[in-house]
Chain A
Amino acid sequence: MTPADLLTRAPAPARRRGRSVTLAVGVTLAGLIALLALVSLVWLPYATDDTSGGRLAPPGDGHLLGTDKLGRDLFTQLMTGSRIAVEAGLGSVAIAALIGVTLGVLAAFAQGWLDDTLAAFLDILIAFPTLLLAMLVVAARSATLGSAVLAIGLAQSAVVARLVRILVKRVLAEDYVTAARTSGTSWPRTVAGHVLPNIWPTLVVNLALQFGLAVLAEAGLSYLGLGAPPPNASWGRMLQEAQATFTTAPAGALAPGVLLVLLVVGVNLIADGLRDTLDPATRGRRS
């Protein structure tokens, strides 16, 4: 092998493997949490309000990770917490995608002053703090997981809408859209057939990132008591509750923290992996 071969050929397979590893690790990490969440639907080690384990029991002895200061099993809480985290992520992203894509596509078609107004409106919405929005929603409704998800989803839909608006505008300027139009394709068909598929790879990566952010945001809201009410243990509230006893029983704070990081990192790795696999141009170059 000549040095030139090394330069041109060697990095390609290495990078290819790197990409699939990214995706595989991401799927494993996020899949672990998803599995916990799924199992929690049908089986839990203890009931969520079972305090028979005694306060702050150490790990082991019937309680895998010990108990919290009220005597509830930590692992049970982690499992219901996974469910809530996954629900929060999926729910927020669903709301963000539905509102964001619709609004973004409409904004992309707007012209002149309407276009400027919509762009400014989206920017203002993005600048508005998620936390404040969440407090408003919680005040208007009640502190439930639904309220938190609604608030997070609404806040994220502005981000998604702004991204979609730019992506659609770019695709609309492409020759293949003009070509489709010259052959008599109507606007709705053009959007469904050419515009959405072409923004999809970028969009789905962004939605995966939004999922991670939504999970973090829900944990933050629960930490402040604005998330799911007891006895549904959210990771955020577990962190808050274990804060005072961190020095004596660190597992209570460490465990939800670690799971939170695993899920968010996992989802971000999936996003990175997807970025490459969803683009047929790079797919073609790699094969």
Chain B
Amino acid sequence: MTLLDVRGLTVRTADGRTLVDDLSFTVGSGERLGLIGESGSGKSLTTLAILGLLPTGMTASGSVELAGTQIVGAPEKRLTAVRGRDAAVVFQEPLTALDPLMRVGRQIAGPLARRTGLRGPALRSAVLDGLEQVRLPDPERVARAFPHEISGGQRQRVALAMALACAPALLIADEPTTALDVSVQAEILTLLDTLVAEREMAVLFVSHDLAVVARVTDRALVLKDGRCVEEGPVLDVVGAPRAPYTKTLVDGARTLQAALDLRSSR
């Protein structure tokens, strides 16, 4: 079943520049699609357009159908109902994606209460469950902490817990590991992988990092200047790139890898 159906999505600024150009792709339920591209390629805008959250001044045209709801041009009320329930987002920078003045527990409690209608002690224990599911040690302490009082990796786990609290059909991960240390990156990816598999969630994984996308997703789509240059099974895209742009990306990644191999073999 098709969960997300994007057809001819085009995003333009107020002064007429085209940032996403006639983009089409689908994500089936339970499927994992990687969106690859460097900064400025329009991948983050695509994720925002899927939720009808484009920055002011930008307009989307074309069609975005999320779980049967047309997003482009939908009224705010319908969008609010769709967001969280059908798709939730984990952002790149967990420090700025968490409210600095709100305790972590309350930030997770918000979407959780809206979805489940829980209150009081039941809500509290559900929040602690949510924190435990993302393998946070000492959830009681974390729930009471402000975002600046926990580490970067812990913050991203909290952000993940917030997104999962919505129990969305589609999880949109917008560069979820880019801002993290390499060792923490691997942990978060494994966690994301397990949690999504357990819940049979669909994933739209946005990243500039080929290796990360190859690890998490089944299918990949390469974006350049807002256009799709290549799409296919992730192993084909990474193993035998057809588009010249994808080749450059893969070669770049391989050069780095080779440098690492060379150093470690010495």
Q: Show the binding face of A for B, using Cβ within 8 Å.
A: 111, 174-176, 178-187, 193-194, 197-198, 200-201, 280-281, 284
Contact = CB atoms under 8 A, between A and B. Distances in A.
B162 A183 contact: yes
B236 interface: no
Contacts of A176: 96-100
A122 B88 CA distance: 38
B101 A197 contact: yes
B84 A280 contact: no
A179 B110 contact: no
Given A175-B91, A284-B148, A284-B149, A181 B97 contact: no
A197 B148 CA distance: 16
Contacts of B88: 182-183
Nearest to A182: B89
Given A176-B99, A179-B159, A186-B80, A193 B146 contact: no
Contacts, number: 82
Nearest to B93: A175
Contacts of A175: 91, 93, 96-97
Contact of B102 (A111, A174, A181, A197): A197
A186 B56 CA distance: 17
Interface in B156-210: 159, 162-163, 165-166, 172
A184 B100 contact: no
Nearest to B112: A183
A47 to B, nearest CB: 50
Contacts of B83: 181-184
B251 interface: no
Interface string B67-106: 0000000001000111111011101010011111110000
Nearest to A111: B56
A181 B53 contact: yes
A200 B100 CA distance: 13
A112 to B, nearest CB: 9
Contacts of A178: 48, 53, 91, 97
Nearest to B80: A186
Contacts of B152: none
B49 interface: no
B114 interface: yes
20 contacts: A175-B96, A176-B96, A176-B100, A179-B91, A180-B110, A181-B83, A182-B51, A183-B83, A183-B166, A184-B83, A184-B114, A184-B166, A187-B76, A194-B102, A197-B102, A198-B100, A200-B101, A280-B146, A280-B148, A284-B148
Given A179-B91, A184-B84, A198 B99 contact: yes
A168 B85 CA distance: 27
A180 B93 CA distance: 14
Question: Which of B87, B100, B159, B162 lies at the interface centre, i.e. has the most chain A CB atoms within 10 A of its CB?
Answer: B100
A183 B110 contact: yes
Query: Is the contact region of chain A dominated by helix, strand, or loop, or is it mixed?
Result: helix
Contacts of B48: 178
Given A175-B93, A181-B53, A186-B80, A281 B148 contact: yes
Contacts of B102: 193-194, 197
A184 B56 contact: no
Contacts of A182: 51, 53, 83-84, 87-89, 172
Contacts of B99: 176, 180, 194, 197-198
A280 B100 contact: yes
B29 to A, nearest CB: 19
Nearest to B56: A111
B100 A185 contact: no
Contact of A183 (B96, B146, B163): B163
B111 interface: yes
Given A176-B100, A179-B159, A184 B91 contact: no
Given A175-B91, A284-B149, A183 B84 contact: yes
A179 B159 CA distance: 9
A187 to B, nearest CB: 7
Contacts of A181: 51, 53, 83
Contact of A284 (B82, B87, B96, B146): B146
A176 B146 CA distance: 13
Given A201-B101, A280-B146, A284-B146, 14 more contacts: A175-B96, A175-B97, A176-B97, A178-B91, A179-B159, A180-B110, A182-B84, A183-B89, A183-B162, A184-B85, A185-B111, A198-B99, A198-B100, A280-B101
A61 B85 CA distance: 78
Contacts of B172: 182
A165 to B, nearest CB: 15
A209 B76 CA distance: 38
A186 B84 CA distance: 11
Contacts of B165: 183
